[in-house]
Chains A and B, each alone.
Chain A
Amino acid sequence: MTRRQRLAALVAGIVSSGAAFGQIAVTGATVHTAAGEPLENAVVVIEDGKISQVGPAGEIEIPDGFRTMSAAVVTPGLIDARSTIGLSGYLNQEHDQDQIEESAPIQPELRAIDAYNPREALVEWVRGYGVTTVHTGHAPRSLVSGQTAVVKTHGLTMEEAVVKPLAMIAATVGDGARERGNKAPGTRAKMAAMLRAELIKAREYLDGRSAEDEDERPDRDLRLEALGEVFEGNVPLLVTAQRTQDILTVLRIRDEFDIPVVLDGVAEAYDVLDQIRDSGVSVIVHPTMMRAQGETENLSFETAARLRDAGIPVALQGGYEPYVPKSRLVLFEAGVAAAHGLGFDDALRSITISAARVLGVDDRIGSIEVGKDGDIALYDGDPFEYSTHCVAVIIQGEVVSEELR
């Protein structure tokens, strides 16, 4: 329950917090659970913000006092696996652009949680289309741009919205990371060299900090500490790489340092499918409708499908946009991927359960299963069809949007 809701509840004289919020039953003519075959005429019951029952309408008893809603199609709340919204704002003016800081090429210490604006209009915008969770944070476009976080698209403060305050550390290898003039890195080889040097420093720092003799330990260093998280294995390096040579550079560095890596973008992945599959890394594919220019000139509408065919699980993203549109809708990107070889089921998984797994939050979200968060999207038809509407969105049992979108 948000602060505003608590206040509202107090004003309304509601003492028991559980009774007022998070108690809802949603009936879908079709329920896509992302955890098995679709269910026809099924009910999802959310109790205290968590999914408590899922099953055929005839077999589910909706508890008394629960709000009921229904729609033609019900899906898990959608997950945008890579975005910058909340750091990047829709006005695109200096004051609402915090997704990149250009004073240095390597800044893993920049925390997404110190920049995320949960009241940004784009957050509400994507939510209206069914997106309930966003992996947002620092943008591509510098060698190591900063941290990312996983947030719900609800809550008035970062603290209320956040699911995972440090999700990944965002890096870029390729034209996007190239600095202008005589600043480094100015070439691909320099990018790899600088990244490797920094990782070596971070490993040495970690070793140094664990020295038994306190006097031997190096002073705290936020930058190396953040990169050190990667070596601990909990925080993947999220590397944007579009060209084949850049993708292979990422895999090479991963092998050298034995660190968790998530590949982002991968416009030319179709030429290195075996290498990606064999590496076992997760992939967050560029927005399907991303512009084919510069290092993404060879992108394909079919890349997500090709990855899937190669046995590589894919998540899709809204990505980062410097201009118009300021944010893409991952729902639309998945729709075009669905129509270009990925198919409905895998497209839906790419923005629900597969995305949750890549982000390491599949224990909480990403599918309609008992015990998971009550994050649900309701549509009046095939969610991917251009003219279908999102009719309601529920986050942790709370109806956060009922506007036809």
Chain B
Amino acid sequence: MLRSLLLGALLVTAAGAQETPQAFVGASLYPIAGPPIENGTLVIHDGKIVSVGPAPAVQIPADAVQHDVSGSVLLPGFVDTHSHAGSVEGGDGSGPMHPDARALDSINVRDARIQKAQAGGITTANIMPGSGHLLSGQTLYVKHRDSKVIDDLLIRRPDGSLAYGIKMANGTNSRKDPPFPGSRAKSAAIVRERFLEAAEYRDKVARAAGDADELPPRDLGLETLGEILAGERVVHFHTHRHDDILTVLRLADEFGFKVVLQHVSDGWAVADEIAASAHVLGASLILIDSPGGKLEAKDNQLASGAILEQAGVVTGFHTDDPITDSRLFNRMAALAVRAGMSREGALYGLTMAGARMLGLEDRVGSLEVGKDADLVVLSGDPLSVYAQVLQTWVDGVKVFDRADPQDRLYAEGGFGASHDQGHLLHGIARGEHE
């Protein structure tokens, strides 16, 4: 939204949140943390949720701006565990593993696909480099705030460090000519060697106990792998085929790393094994309109959601933007319901499941007091083809409003809808978009 874009540019504060409390009244609330609330009231302030509940039970502050959203449905902003918005890049063709390459250094924040994600109600995303490497680089967890520079999108952990994960892949995408592996066994062997090297590096650093003479030369990649070994960084593992999924579980067992299974086309075939793994934070599905397109996805099926849910796996979804459209993220969950997943599980999959997989469950994914004011307002049932995203709020700031013509352009498409936002900013400078 242009106005909030300008506002964001002017404030340049970390939160950018409005200082006046905002109260949303009249909507059906889907808190995700509990059953839906008919005619609920939600109050946000300073970028956080301050109260949520049935209308009679919520005291609206006297100075609050009221938003009458009667007849609509209000949910926590959606969490996309796997997106390539911003033309993100990781490592190059010089080798199969690039733990030192940061998505942070490559994202084009003016990519219109970020506006389109806002138009789809996505407020938090894991932007990742591709799957053509065993380890293509560090990912970046972002909030889809209106932004001019990458710093505007970042999420900081309680200790001030950046929130991100690591992208790995197995199967066929990372199999190619040397220096890449030529087989599945070689893929696993290269990964194991590098992690053993990282463990030795970590031990050397520990033994040096700060003595500069004893410290090994600093190695950015091994440092990052050390964070994985320490459980401080989650591995987002692109994996499709049933045996490749089990290889991921085996590697996670050996090195003790936390892993999110990404795509998991054959997850339905090994659901119990996934559920039994202590290292899996969750499975994030992409459901496609027909199986195939690549050999690994030939058994991809909509029933994966139901089968993994029933096995007790934390099950979520991702857009893999641009593979599927961020504006239709809710469709993924609805297709899972079509094939037997529970409505509750599917809505959880759009929100809390993703939050848990990104380690952000204390901040996003549900409408609970104290959590970030990340909201999506829909015109109706969130699992209906006819539902439209009316508004999207991030950290208490409205970033998408269907009533705004420019936002509507992003939502529906049309001339200029895919142009970089820079195009738009130039227009603002010329006063064309007032």
Contact = CB atoms under 8 A, between A and B. Distances in A.
Contact of A302 (B297, B328, B412, B419): B412
A387 B383 contact: yes
Nearest to A386: B334
Contacts of A6: none
B289 interface: yes
A116 interface: no
Nearest to A331: B289
B415 A271 contact: yes
B295 interface: yes
Nearest to B320: A324
A369 to B, nearest CB: 28
Contacts of B183: none
A111 to B, nearest CB: 25
B338 A389 contact: yes
B166 to A, nearest CB: 24
Interface in A108-156: 121-122, 125-126
Contacts of A126: 290
Nearest to B387: A339
Interface string A293-306: 10001111110000
Contacts of A299: 413
Contact of A324 (B288, B331, B338, B413): B288
Output the residue of B334, B386, B419 with the most chain A CB within 10 A: B386
Given A292-B413, A301-B413, A387-B337, A90 B322 contact: no
A160 interface: no
Contact of A386 (B293, B384, B412, B418): B384
B385 interface: yes
A340 interface: yes
Contacts of B322: 291, 293
Given A292-B417, A300-B412, A321 B293 contact: yes
A336 B386 CA distance: 8
A332 interface: yes
Contacts of A297: 417-419
B290 A125 contact: yes
Interface in A220-276: 268, 270-271
Interface in A77-129: 89-93, 121-122, 125-126
Contacts of B338: 386-389
A298 B417 contact: yes
A325 interface: yes
B291 interface: yes
A121 B323 CA distance: 22
A125 B291 contact: yes
B293 A324 contact: yes
A90 B291 contact: yes
Contact of B294 (A271, A298, A323, A387): A323
B385 A336 contact: yes
Contacts of A93: 295
B156 interface: no
A90 B290 contact: yes
Interface string B405-428: 000000011111111000000000
A92 B335 contact: no
Contacts of B412: 300-302, 340
A185 interface: no
A301 to B, nearest CB: 5
B93 interface: no
A91 B290 contact: no
A326 interface: yes
Interface in A318-344: 321, 323-329, 332, 335-336, 338-340
Interface of A is mostly: loop
A205 interface: no
Interface string A328-371: 11001001101110000000000000000000000000000000
B204 interface: no
Contacts of A125: 290-291
A122 B386 contact: no
Interface in B99-136: none
B292 interface: yes
A21 interface: no
B417 A329 contact: no
A92 B292 CA distance: 7
Interface in B376-399: 383-386, 388
A321 B289 CA distance: 11
Contacts of A325: 288-293
Contacts of A39: none
A194 interface: no
B82 to A, nearest CB: 14
A298 B423 CA distance: 14
B298 interface: yes
Contacts of B386: 338-339, 385
B384 A300 contact: no
Contacts of A388: 338
A20 interface: no
B325 interface: yes
B287 to A, nearest CB: 10
Contacts of A386: 331, 334-335, 337-338, 383-385
A329 B302 CA distance: 14
B415 A268 contact: yes
Interface string A372-405: 0000000000001111110000000000000000
A298 B413 contact: yes
A323 B293 CA distance: 5
Contacts of B335: 386
B293 A300 contact: no
Contacts of B419: 297
Output the residue of A93, A292, A329, A332 with the most chain B CB within 10 A: A292
8 closest Cβ contacts across the A-B interface? A90-B292, A386-B334, A324-B293, A300-B413, A326-B293, A297-B418, A325-B288, A325-B289
Interface of B: 288-295, 297-298, 322-323, 325, 328, 331, 334-335, 337-338, 383-386, 388, 412-419
Given A122-B290, A325-B291, A339-B388, 14 more contacts: A90-B291, A92-B294, A93-B295, A268-B415, A291-B322, A297-B417, A298-B415, A323-B294, A325-B288, A336-B385, A339-B385, A384-B385, A386-B334, A387-B337
27 contacts: A90-B290, A90-B291, A90-B292, A91-B292, A92-B293, A92-B294, A92-B295, A122-B290, A125-B290, A268-B415, A270-B415, A289-B325, A289-B328, A291-B322, A292-B413, A298-B413, A300-B413, A323-B294, A326-B291, A327-B289, A339-B385, A339-B388, A386-B331, A386-B337, A387-B334, A387-B338, A389-B338
